Structure 1
């Protein structure tokens, strides 16, 4: 048991959680939407502090982060739980665990041990991923502070629903984030995700304001969020409000969890989405979850020179010189050192 951060006491021993944008009001003995923060006698506790359900060494490209230390490895960790209810969740067996079971699984690993293992594995960063890192924020924060002291980077792979106060606290030790912008209508977020689009957009604006390196991913689902108008709206939002240098990853959906009746995303749809993003003024749009001969590579936004070659999560040629194009000397946005 670990007392939670970001909560306030209400009447009748209720508490209001301020960690994410759901702002759950939780009566005594109950848990918030995430299933892992519980009101015990008028105090809010995290039930997953140090309870790892997954730990792996991953290529940073798997997050996906294409403009953050390319070719490096990231020590990736997660606990159970999530504050979303995505019908197409690829990790539902751990993110939605607590909706069918009450107990909290996981191996206890202290923050110091996570940092030690990351260093021993030759990783350059720690990624808080697989499930939503916001719901194990206290554990992630303590680990991130220690990692930062040891020269390791810290990465969130997030659904983008963290509160402003929580983001502002962790921002000094958070180096990069990939946020899922899952669609661009409130109807989609309400029916498929169990959240609000407005909350995600507010979080994205916060990340941009705080200066954390940001990349955005949209899983393109046939018949759900693959229309030209919606894809163009996402691209315009990124270009206009986050910046045209922010990479956008458009990735393929495969039937899973509660969306087994939806077909996989055709390659042609992702190629079309990439074109829409480039037409909207984005400098870097990437195709993911499938192989595309050009859609995975990074090109100079000025002269078009191939700068970073990729195939899946494997890195090919890397031709940056001090973070810039070797031909025209245009700086490439990202974190390269």
Structure 2
């Protein structure tokens, strides 16, 4: 059976788990193996997602599972994104998660954010939870690498208010370094921006994706969709397998000025 959740289109035998660790062939059907499996949860400031222009100053219940369909060497959540934690997660139903989100409303919570690992590998859980969350007047956000198929995206779009999407660079060669596909992400951003609030994050890694030309082309692409889409240029620090020195503040400020030629809202992160 072919999994159609992302660009990999894994061909899975019965009982076989996909590249992302979150999809599996069970009796001839591709299922969400980590449905409702929660490895991490916190009540976070909305700006931490980062969502700068979406209900600023509010809090949002943030949950993550395990697995990812990329292999970024600098992954700051590699303990959950790159590991199979199926037996070590707590399991929660959409109803239970929405109930918890409602309980936290008095503490400033506006809804639920699916984040930390790659949540689109569990799009069924986002869809099912999102339906119930909307009925309770809650907001739904998804923090994603944007490397899912449009078919999976369309399943969740009616129930998601905001996305923060990683546009990790603007060269296919760089995406190959991350085991990804740039065109998939571009299509994902275009479709998501047509239906929901979208903000973009680019982690700037020295000597990898920090050239003036790459950031200029990246900003031009975003502006071609909507110049009001916020772009977060985020400072990289060594994590997991990546040992490159941190991004300089001067480099980030320089690249911000380049992006601002095309975009009205450019923010610096991790500074």
After TM superposition, list the pairs within 5 Å mapping 1:239-258 onto structure 2: 239-240=223-224, 242-258=225-241
- How many residues are treated as equivalent by the alignment? 268
The normalised TM-score by structure 2 is 0.96
Larger mean CA deviation between 104-113 and 141-150 belongs to 104-113
Q: Counterparts in 2 of 1:1-337, with a 5 A limit?
A: 15-98=1-84, 103-122=86-105, 123-191=109-177, 193-209=178-194, 211-240=195-224, 242-260=225-243, 262-279=244-261, 281-290=262-271
Q: Report Cα offsets for 1:186-224 as digits up to 9, x if no partner.
A: 111011x10111111111111123x21110000000010
Cα distance in 2 between the residues matched to 1:26 and 1:195: 19
Q: Secondary structure at the match of 1:234?
A: helix
Task: Identify unmatched segments of 5+ residues in structure 2.
Answer: none
Query: Structure 1: where are the runs of 5+ without partners?
Result: 1-14, 291-337
**Alpha carbons of 1:40 and 1:137: their partners in 2 closer, same or farther (altered >3 Å)?**
same
Give TM-score, length-normalised by structure 1.
Answer: 0.77
**In structure 2, how many angstroms separate the alpha carbons of the residues matched to 1:143 and 1:149?**
10
Change in CA separation of 1:104 and 1:47 when aligned onto 2, cut-off 3 Å: farther
Deviations 1:262-307 (A, max 9, x none): 000110011011101112x2100000001xxxxxxxxxxxxxxxxx
Give distance in 2, aligned partners of 1:136 and 1:208. 20
**What is the CA–CA distance in structure 1 between the aligned matches of 2:166 and 2:27, rounded to whole Å?**
35
Q: Within 1, Cα distance between the matches of 2:50 and 2:227?
A: 18
C-alpha RMSD over aligned residues = 1.2
